[in-house]
């Protein structure tokens, strides 16, 4: 992944981050060694802060990998909250379950294995936060489905919206990921029910506030 921020600015932000606990540190090292995509600590703090700021109790993640963001959300929602974890890889889900058990938050998490969009459709009710981090070609489909499932005053958050800077260029032939993210970003900012800001941390985080009906 190419850097969005200048290297010295990124290093400065990272230098300000408080040390994570041992389990989060272990997850970060595992992700780096095995090339597992996680949001990283700077963006994870944004997710935690957003969830806490609206007193979120129900969070649905579209794409959770080894459960790094899941753990931050589970801590944010508290013992009465619920976070829905989704991933297509059973091995990821097993690893995430073990991390969440060790963190003491597994009772707050529903582990769902399979297609994230299908599982969102199958899960009743609205959510305080929906976090979108699925395969990038699915982003337009997510935008057609997810906002209606966020409660008024809730938050829809999407990772990788700057896509290593490729979104600022014409996509190469066959680059369906960049094309899909560009379409998603355009439609997200044009939405009448979502008020959106892109935060240029890591690979770009879009934060969208759902308006009242």
Q: Is the dihedral of CA 178, 180, 181, 186 positive or negative?
A: positive
Q: Is the dihedral of CA 144, 86, 35, 104 positive or negative?
A: positive
Residue 65 CA to residue 46 CA, distance in Å, equals 18
pLDDT at residue 60 in the model? 98
Tell me if 207 sits within 8 A of 157, measured CB to CB. Answer: yes
Neighbours of 18 (CB within 10 A): 7
pLDDT at residue 77 in the model? 98
pLDDT at residue 1 in the model? 61
pLDDT at residue 2 in the model? 65
pLDDT at residue 6 in the model? 80
pLDDT at residue 213 in the model? 67
Give the class (CATH, top level) of 7-210.
Answer: alpha beta
Structure tokens at 195: 């008020």
Ranges under pLDDT 70 in the chain:
1-2, 213
Residue 184 CA to residue 165 CA, distance in Å, equals 15
pLDDT at residue 12 in the model? 93
Tell me if 154 sits within 8 A of 164, measured CB to CB. Answer: no
């Amino acid at each position: 992944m190419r850097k969005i921020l200048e290297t010295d600015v990124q290093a400065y932000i990272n230098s300000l981050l408080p040390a994570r606990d041992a389990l989060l540190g272990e997850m970060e090292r595992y992700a780096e060694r095995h090339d597992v995509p996680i949001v990283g600590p700077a963006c994870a703090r944004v997710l935690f802060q957003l969830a806490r700021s609206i007193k979120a109790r129900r969070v649905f993640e579209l794409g959770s990998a080894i459960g790094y963001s899941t753990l931050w959300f589970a801590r944010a929602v508290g013992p009465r909250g619920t976070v829905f974890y989704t991933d297509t890889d059973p091995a990821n889900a097993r690893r995430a379950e073990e991390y969440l058990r060790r963190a003491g938050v597994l009772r707050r998490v529903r582990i769902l294995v399979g297609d994230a969009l299908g599982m969102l459709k199958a899960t009743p009710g609205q959510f305080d936060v929906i976090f979108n981090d699925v395969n990038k070609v699915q982003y337009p489909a997510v935008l057609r489905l997810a906002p209606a499932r966020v409660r008024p005053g809730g938050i829809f958050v999407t990772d990788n919206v700057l896509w290593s800077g490729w979104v600022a260029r014409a996509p190469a032939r066959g680059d369906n990921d960049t094309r899909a993210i560009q379409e998603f970003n355009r439609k997200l900012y044009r939405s009448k029910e979502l008020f959106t800001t892109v935060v240029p941390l890591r690979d770009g985080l879009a934060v969208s506030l759902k308006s009242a009906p």
